[in-house]
Amino acid sequence: MTHEERLSQLARRVEELMEEHRVPGVAVGLIVDGHEHVITRGVTSVEHPLPVTEDTLFQIGSTTKTVTATVLVRLEEEGRVDLDAPVRRYLPDLRLQDPSAAEGVTVRHLLTHTAGWAGDYFEDTGDGDDALRRYVEGMAQLPQLTPPGTVWHYNNAAFCLAGRVIEAVTGQTYETAVRELLLEPLGMEQSFFFPKEVMLRRFAVGHVVMEEEQVVVAHPWPIPRSSNPAGGLASSVRDQLRYARFHMGDGRSDAGRQVLRPESLRRMQEPVLEGADGQQMGLGWMLRDEGGLRFVQHGGTTNGQCSTFWMVPQRRFALTVLTNCDRGHGLGDAVSAWVKEHFLGVVASEPQPLAVSAGEAARYAGRYRSPVVGQVYELLWTGDGLMLQVHPGDLSAVSSTPPPPPPPMPVALIGPDRIMITEGPYKGIRGEFLRDQDGRIAWLRMGLRLHRPEARQD
Which pLDDT score is estimated for 211?
84
Q: Which of 349, 384, 416 is the last residue of a domain?
A: 349
Per-residue pLDDT tens for 27-55?
999 999 989 999 999 999 999 999 999 99
Per-residue pLDDT tens for 249-300?
999 999 999 999 999 999 999 999 999 888 999 999 999 999 999 999 999 9
Asked if residue 89 and residue 179 are part of one domain, the reply reads yes
Asked if residue 390 and residue 344 are part of one domain, the reply reads no
Q: Is 400 a catalytic residue?
A: no
Asked if residue 342 and residue 397 are part of one domain, the reply reads no
Which pLDDT score is estimated for 456?
47
Phi and psi at residue 217, to the nearest 5°? -70, 135
- Determine contact, residues 434/427, Cβ cutoff 8 Å: no
pTM of this structure: 0.96
Catalytic entry in 8, 45, 62, 400: 62
Asked if residue 87 and residue 205 are part of one domain, the reply reads yes
For the chain, how many residues are written?
458
Q: Return the DSSP state at 57.
A: B
According to the 3-state scheme, what is the secondary structure of 384-432?
CCEEEEEECCCCCCCCCCCCCCCCCEEEEEEECCEEEECCCCCCCCEEE
Range of the domain at 179: 1-349
Split into its structural domains, the chain has a count of 2
Q: Which residues of 365-381 are buried (b: 16+ CB within 10 A; e: fewer)?
A: ebbbbbbbbebbbbbeb
Write the CATH number for 234: 3.40.710.10
